[in-house]
Amino acid sequence: MHSVVDLKVLYFGTPVVLVGSRSPDGTANLAPMSSAWWLGDRCLLGLANSGQTTANLL
């Protein structure tokens, strides 16, 4: 599921993790992610709206 959240607060000091995925042709993709929020039982990941890893996750 894809959710759009309009946050009015900017957070600093979040950890950086690597998110891995595979393209339809089987090649591996790796992208840095530095924003994550937990809202109830859901985790929202802050990824750029461009890039192959983001497209693979959607």
Residue-wise pLDDT for 1-11, tens only, equals 788 878 777 66
Which structure tokens are listed for 39?
């809202």
Predicted local confidence at residue 17, as pLDDT = 77
Instruction: Note the pTM of the prediction, 2 decimals.
Output: 0.51
Domain boundaries, the chain: 17-57
- CA geometry: angle 16, 22, 3, nearest 5 deg: 60
Identify the pLDDT of residue 46: 79
| 7-42: pLDDT as tens digits | 777 666 666 778 899 999 999 988 888 777 778 888
For residue 37, count CB atoms less than 10 angstroms from its CB and return exposed for 0-12, middle for 13-18, buried for 19 or more.
Answer: middle
Higher pLDDT, 28 or 45: 28
Is residue 46 within 8 A of residue 34, CB to CB? The reply is: yes
